[in-house]
Amino acid sequence: MSVVRTNAAAGMLGVSPNTLRSWERRFGFPRPRRTPGGHRQFDLAEIEALREAFEQTHNISSAVSIARERGEGPASPVRLRSAFSRFDEPRCDRVLEESLAVRSVERTVEEVLLPTVSSLGGSEAETGPEYGFAWRYATGWLAAIQRAAPPAHRDPGILIFDASEAGDLDALYVQALELCLRRAGLRTLALAVALSPERLARALRALDPAAVVLGGRRASMDALARVVFAARHRGESVRVLDYRGALPEASGSTVTRIGPGAMQARDALLAALDERPAASTGASATG
């Protein structure tokens, strides 16, 4: 069990050691242990639980009641946001590891990681360094999990064209979809949408995809049209899908929308490949 001494515990809570000792006397929480030398040692989980409850309530009496009831609490966007706000990478790791103990990888991404980053904003320029830290942490974490995905065991290939940029929330959603598809056993390749016609044709020949997914929202209509044309030129069986609004609402042709979440998009894509209706497939998008 991890423990911290009085000064460290007080620093985590943003109070003086005297204030922490007064809380101990008044509420009996957090309750320290004593070393043989008489020094207080606080349970790190209790301190973290109290810190998060105090952040939510701004009232120590209420915070103590909440912290006593739930301990540090389950892995949640609230706890992960707190770790991001403190630029505390080890604590981010711990929250996600705890989530993986009770959730699948896909649910951890969709229910904890992405909602937390989203709650911090949509770009570092607009929202500040906390979002930038969270975005960089999330993209690294997703990449590490993807490297551990099992080898593909299904025939269909999926080619994702990503029109997002570094720092975009859309980039994380594209990365999450690639992870979900790989973990579903599909051969999956993600490329930037801004390819020359020759490189685009080479990628399509190499993967021979059953479906092409458009993600991100920073491509020009010319670039998107070139991808759609090249994909459909390979055969009518190639499905072209729009993930999270890559195509504008009123752009002319019909491309099926999937999403908005990575798991929902994965299920819709699998259903499209099986040529059966999917409840998770959205209405057709004009694109």
More confident residue, 73 or 1: 73
What are the structure tokens assigned to 245, written together? Answer: 């609004």
Closest CA relative to residue 241, chosen from 209, 196, 195: 209
What's the whole-model pTM score? 0.73
The amino acid at residue 25 is: R
At residue 281, does pLDDT exceed 50? no
Does the domain at 3-70 match CATH 1.20.1260.10? Answer given as no
Assign 203 to helix, strand or coil.
helix
Q: How far apart are CA 75 and CA 73, in angstroms?
A: 7
The pLDDT score that the predictor gives to residue 127 is 66
The pLDDT score that the predictor gives to residue 106 is 96
Average confidence (pLDDT) over 191-212: 91
More confident residue, 279 or 130: 130
Average confidence (pLDDT) over 47-72: 83
The domain spans of the chain are 3-70, 77-145, 153-286
> What CATH number labels 153-286?
3.40.50.2300
Tens of pLDDT, residues 228-240: 899 888 877 889 9
Residue 277: cis peptide before it, omega within 30 degrees of 0: no
